[in-house]
Structures are given as structure tokens and as C-alpha cells.
Chain A
């Protein structure tokens, strides 16, 4: 079976589209996570392919469905943003022996495809719909939600996985070369790390609103504290270390005003969800979590890097789309799990949403109040990438688990978990979800 990238029409990128036509009719009913690791140890059983299969099987088991009854699969084929398999390096023989191969030998090693998953999970004998949502777990979720709503599949797996190799992230390839192609050089000649654009926007934010980098410290402490309560996460599994304000303020600069801790840690991990129709969900093992809507931002930056004005206009637009599609307002949101990799843009997301009435420029003051899972205003109860490692999926797992009441020691206690928002990655350019404990 071939799988194509999702067409643009599956995403709700415009204002004025009204309620999502499948509001409350698609539900998440299963979650599966692989163990995490900092880097690949070279063994087939810990490859990105293997951990993907593990996460998928765990999601199926969690939902208590017969694998043969699953008819849809959506995944993100990209499994890194900066750890690339060197051109020409042969695929290890162990990998070739361990898995059924597709015509692309990097599948399962440095990327994924739906055909590769289906070849290596023969129990998924009933899959008739397979599609790629390239870029992020959130994008794959949008595609799967839309597919189930549209009737392209009734029981659909969603997968996102990450690999990481030895060596410094992002420093191979073009960065190590002596010359760049002209179109790349226009941006890349200045040697900026990936967090540079966010650093610029944060610098502008601090000047405009009179804020300081140190004001981010309570957000960092809260994120890692929550992450250490996430047993599926990297920091909880491997390095149970809190972040103190002193740690944060002493961290070395990467692109000042973004420091090392403002950058999330690349890891290996996979997560999968099982989505189905609200009707079918009622008869499954787990309490269903309903999708009220999804929205996307496809706004193009005018020039090199979005200015603060461009970012704020777009986050406000995203919130209008999201609330319009879900039929809710900011006041209905129990808690937020917007993206945090990089930390210095989390405030753009939640100010755009008007979370707890926040206006532009107010989030860093909000961070100085009680933003814990025990208080009335939880910020990122998942801990996000800062609390759990770079995957861009903790936010969604946490929303589902919180609304099911099975977030364990991370369960929010200061609010009744009814409606949650999550999504990203960038404040300008991403995909976003509204989850609900009831169909609405």
C-alpha cells in the first residue's frame, strides 16, 4: 500500500470555517509509548523502527482492540530535525536482517513510511487507509482525526517517532561544509542555531513589554517538575533532575537571549494513539477523549524571520480558528499544553489563546504566580519537551490522560479537566487541537 502526504484540504487553516463538521465525533481511545533513550545504540531492537512498532502495539493493547479491526494508519515519515544518516553510509546488516524492508533502505533506520510499518506489523491486516502527516505528531493527529470524521477509516492509528544518533545535533551536513548552495546561503551564511529566530522574537518581546529572561525561570522549574511526574518521559526515566532558577540563569548562551536550557534535548522515543468514531469508542476499554476541533497556521513570514507583530497577529488568528471550530471560548479551557521547544515561544502560544484572560505581554508575569498542576491555572502539565525530551507529543498524551483521569501523579487537581488545548510547533506555522472529556 502506498501512502501519500495529506492534502492541504485536510487542514483547517482559514478563519470563518465555522464549527468543525466532525466536532465530538472522533475520539482517542488508546495511547502507546516506547521507552526513551538519548541516542541510538546501533541495535535493531532500539532502532526508530522498532520503537515505533512497540508504541503502536502498546496503543492497540491499551485500547483493547483486535489489530485486524484497525483500518487506518497515519504517521509522520520524518523522524529527526537534525540527526541525519550520512549520505553513503551503508545500512547495518543487522537492520536488514531484523525487519522486512521497503524500497527505501532508510525506512526504520532514519525515517518511517506507512508501507514499512504495515510490512513489519502483519497483524494490521485490515488497514485500507494510510497517509503521511509530515512534520509533527500534531499534523498526523489532524490528518487522522479528519480521516476518521470523513469516514476514510473508522479505527485509525497515529504514530510519531524520533531517532537520534551520536554527534552534535544539526552540525553535520551543510554546516560542516566549505560552501553552501546559493539559496541556502542567503540565510545560513550567518551561522545561526535553530533557536535564533525565537531568540530574536523573545528579545523584541522583552523590549516591548519590559520583561527579562530570568522571568522564565518559574516556567522552567514547573515544566521539569511536571516532566519528572511523566513516567514515559526521558528525564523521569534517565536523569531525574529538577531545574532550579539558579541552574537556568547560569546556563550558557546558545543565541543570547536563548540559553542551553531554552533548547529541548534531542532524544529517541515513539508514541502512538488510536482514534475511532465516538460511536465505536463507547464500547472500548478506555474512557474516550473527544476531539472538538483542529486548526492550522500556514502563515508565511514576510522576510527572513517573523517579527513579534507577525507572531502575535498569527497566534491570535490561530486561537480564533481553534475556538470557532471547537465551538468554545478561552473561558472553557481547563488547562493548556501548547508547545515549548523552544521555551521562549510558549508565551506567544498562550497569549494568543488568551489562556486565563492573558493579553500580549502578560505571560511572564503569569509565570510568577501558581502555574502548578495543583493550582487553578496549570501551565503545561505535561512538562512538555523541557520536562520529557524533544518529541512534540507529550502535550497530546497528557491532554488525553488528564481528561481520562489517568495522568497519575501528574493529574491536575486545581481544575476539573474538561477541555484542553495542545499543539505546535511554531507559534507561526503549526497545527493545534482541542480535546474534551465529553462530546460537547
Chain B
């Protein structure tokens, strides 16, 4: 099971949206540019005034992956080995999120496959965006 989350000021909208079943990503309105992980400033224009949260479609593709056999995180060690994939979002393929790809067998990750967002509970009940291969069994 994933560790719990204590939302901080910067990322609270991301976590609150996840609890409501929505995926939101930070966007700089001045540059019309998405960024993830969230930051206090736009990575392009460095402005801190034009950042907003934009809802995503929840669709993406699997860009890359590695298989974790030795995690530093105690709560995940019972699940080893496990996939950690990189998901590229449909809205901007340069924006990435990590995923354990629930339902996908270890080291049998279909690169390039379409995925859709789901929301999974962590140790303290906070929900977190996860990704499932489209058409795979739940």
C-alpha cells in the first residue's frame, strides 16, 4: 500500500481534486503551458501569478517503465517487485506521471498502450491518481 499524504499549500488542489475523482494539473495561463510536478513558479516564464489548475481528460499512454525490486519505502516492500511506469498525458506528451499500473503483470508492461486514470486510496485515506491499461481487467 502507498504511504499516506499530508497535502501542503502548493499541492492541496491536486489532492483535493483526486479525492473528488478528478485529475488536475498546474497550468501557466501566461505561457499556456502545463507543468508537473507542481511548482510555485512557471518553469518557463518564472511568473508566480498566472498559475492555475486545469482538469485533464484522464487519458494517456505508457511511455517507459522500470521494475522496482528494492524500494526504500517500507510500506511498499511487501509488494516487491512492482512496476513503476511513466505515463505521458494526452493533453501534452511531455507531462509525465508515475504509475504502479494496477492490473498489469510485473515486467509485462505494454509500452505505448493507452491508459486511463483511476483513483486509489493510500494509507491515510487520501486518494491518488493511478493508471490502468484501457481494456484491462479491473
Contact = CB atoms under 8 A, between A and B. Distances in A.
Contacts of B96: 303-305
Q: Which of A186, A190, A254, A255 has the most C-beta atoms of chain B within 10 angstroms of its own C-beta? A: A190
Contacts of A185: 3, 5, 11, 128
Contact of A304 (B11, B37, B75, B82): B37
Contacts of A302: 43, 94-95
Contacts, number: 140
Q: Which of A185, A252, A254 has the most C-beta atoms of chain B within 10 angstroms of its own C-beta? A: A185
Contacts of A181: 5-6, 8
B110 to A, nearest CB: 13
A193 interface: yes
A200 B65 contact: yes
Given A180-B6, A185-B5, A186-B11, A191 B69 contact: no
B68 interface: yes
B68 A179 contact: no
Interface in B33-88: 35-38, 43, 63-76, 81-82, 84, 86
Interface string B1-30: 011111110111011000000000000000
Nearest to B36: A303
A255 B70 contact: yes
A182 B10 contact: yes
B36 to A, nearest CB: 6
B86 A305 contact: yes
Contact of B8 (A182, A253, A307): A182
B72 A200 contact: no
A192 interface: yes
B64 A203 contact: yes
Interface residues of A, number: 41
B97 interface: yes
Contacts of A203: 64-66
A368 interface: no
A185 B75 CA distance: 14
Contacts of B73: 175, 188, 191
Contacts of B99: 190
B15 A182 contact: yes
A179 B66 contact: no
A190 to B, nearest CB: 4
Given A175-B73, A187-B98, A182 B68 contact: no
Interface in A222-261: 252-258
B69 A175 contact: no
B4 to A, nearest CB: 4
A256 B69 contact: yes
Interface string A168-212: 101100011111111101111111111010011001100100000
B84 A191 contact: yes
B120 to A, nearest CB: 10
B52 to A, nearest CB: 17
B99 to A, nearest CB: 8
A134 to B, nearest CB: 21
A305 B68 CA distance: 16
B122 A200 contact: no
A282 interface: no
Nearest to B68: A255
A306 to B, nearest CB: 10
Nearest to B67: A256
A181 B14 CA distance: 13
5 contacts: A181-B6, A189-B128, A192-B71, A256-B66, A256-B69
